[in-house]
Amino acid sequence: MNTISSNIANINTTRTPEGGPYRRKDIVFEAMPDARNFGEILGVTDPKANVQRVQVTDIISDTKAPMMKYEPDHPDANEEGYVAYPNINLMEEMTNMIQATRAYEANVSSLQAAKDMALSSLEIGR
């Protein structure tokens, strides 16, 4: 969400400390698989022990060429009067944000369902 927010916030940034327009950031994820089977995972008393997770391995900058707009009065305009803007699509960024939010909500719901099932199974034994 932070990376998406940064992309949206810098959609009109034409000058950065590195020089040139802001470059869209993308996140690279890596799965960290658990070597144990499902039955062993359920038997673990510590819920944080060897849990499968997704890890951010890198944040890369987009290599696409910037969008050139004709604005001769802009302070960052080149000799021909064109300004280099970041190649960021607002609709794509908003879609990515909604997708990240929905994935988070789905994970929270699945954890809540697992907790409810465990509590229900304890009630059966009473």
pLDDT digits (tens, 9 = 90+) for 77-123: 999 999 999 999 999 999 999 999 999 999 899 989 989 988 888 88
**Residue 8 neighbours by CB under 8 Å, 6+ apart:** 88, 90, 93, 94, 97
- Express as a percent the part of the chain with pLDDT over 70: 84
- Express as a percent the part of the chain with pLDDT over 90: 60
Rounded to the nearest integer, the mean pLDDT of the chain is 87
C-beta of residue 14 within 8 angstroms of C-beta of residue 95: no
C-beta of residue 25 within 8 angstroms of C-beta of residue 11: no
C-beta of residue 15 within 8 angstroms of C-beta of residue 21: yes
Q: By mean pLDDT, which of 7-11, 18-22, 67-71 is the weakest?
A: 18-22
